[in-house]
Structure 1
Amino acid sequence: MNRRGLQVVLGLLATVAVASGLAGMLVGPAALPGAGPVDATVDSGFRYASTFWFAAGVLAWWAVPRVERAGTVLRLTLGVVILGGFARLLAVLASGWPHPVYLGTLVVELVVVPLVLLWQAGVARAARRTQPGGPDDGRPL
């Protein structure tokens, strides 16, 4: 499993989350593609929810240099992202299809992120096998 490739992909995903979360906190729903006017309640809820997206990006950045050991943090953080993808699907059922940009986010949340979690698990397994005292450390039994 390619550790460096995983770090790059995770870093890119984290950067998108931090940037869009920050934009959501500072600009509000007006930062959304295709956004229209909203009332104060929607604005408040959107800015509040954006902090979680921002935090998910920060946690993913934290995991990048220690990606083979950060499985628990990544499973929790990216698991919430996957859950958010299912919430988007629920929104489609309740309100219809969103701006096309969000179809791409659905693919990222429900396809790419689970693949990243599987990739991380493979990198972690490979790292454990090559650690001293691991099953493939080359020392005689």
Structure 2
Amino acid sequence: MVLGLLATVAVASGLAGMLVGPAALPGAGPVDATVDSGFRYANAFWFAAGAVAWWAVPRVERATAPLRLVLGAVILGGIARLLAALASGWPHPVYLGALAVELVLVPLVLVWQAEVAQAARRAAG
């Protein structure tokens, strides 16, 4: 359920980011065309990460490599978000919640998936 919820959030927010642009951000102000372009581009990856996670839900015990790649990228994004906060100041509280998900919950999901995959391998003999 947690993986499905994370996937849903990524797909929905990635789609909103691609279609609406930075105006979808809580507390967003005006941005120039370069920031708009970069934001929409990055949200395509967020959308795709969610789609891969959705794909993995029914096969979570076998989808180790795709999940590690996608969830690892989310953790890397969390590290980048933390660096941005340290360099530019703390973002809107919604993004502090996202930071917690990226740097705490997602690593826990990775550990859980590894345990599920290992249990499935043991059961298969």
In which range does the TM-score fall when normalised by the shorter chain?
over 0.9
How far 1:94 sits from its partner (Å)? Answer: 1.3
TM-score, L = length of structure 1: 0.88
Q: Look up the match of 2:25.
A: 32
Q: Look up the match of 2:6.
A: 13
SS in 2 for 1:15: helix
Q: Please say if 1:118 is aligned against 2:111.
A: yes
TM-score, L = length of structure 2: 0.99
In structure 2, runs of 5+ residues without a counterpart are none
Counterpart AA for 1:114:
P
SS in 1 for 2:91: coil
Which of the numbers 48, 59, 77 marks the counterpart of 2:41? 48
CA radius of gyration, larger in:
1
Q: Please say if 1:22 is aligned against 2:15.
A: yes
Counterpart AA for 1:87:
A
CA distance in 1, matches of 2:110, 2:41: 26
Counterpart AA for 1:125:
Q
CA distance in 1, matches of 2:22, 2:87: 19
Counterpart AA for 2:67:
L
CA distance in 2, matches of 1:42, 1:106: 21
How far 1:115 sits from its partner (Å)? Answer: 0.1
CA distance in 1, matches of 2:64, 2:123: 17
CA RMSD of aligned residues (A): 0.5
Q: Look up the match of 1:81.
A: 74
Q: Deviations over 1:9-44 (max 9, x none)?
A: 111000000000000000000000110110111001
In structure 1, runs of 5+ residues without a counterpart are 1-7, 135-141
CA distance in 2, matches of 1:64, 1:48: 25
Structure 1 or 2: larger helix share?
Answer: 2
Percent of aligned pairs with the same residue?
84
> Could you list the runs of 4 or more consecutive aligned residues of structure 1 that deviate by over 6 angstroms after TM superposition?
none
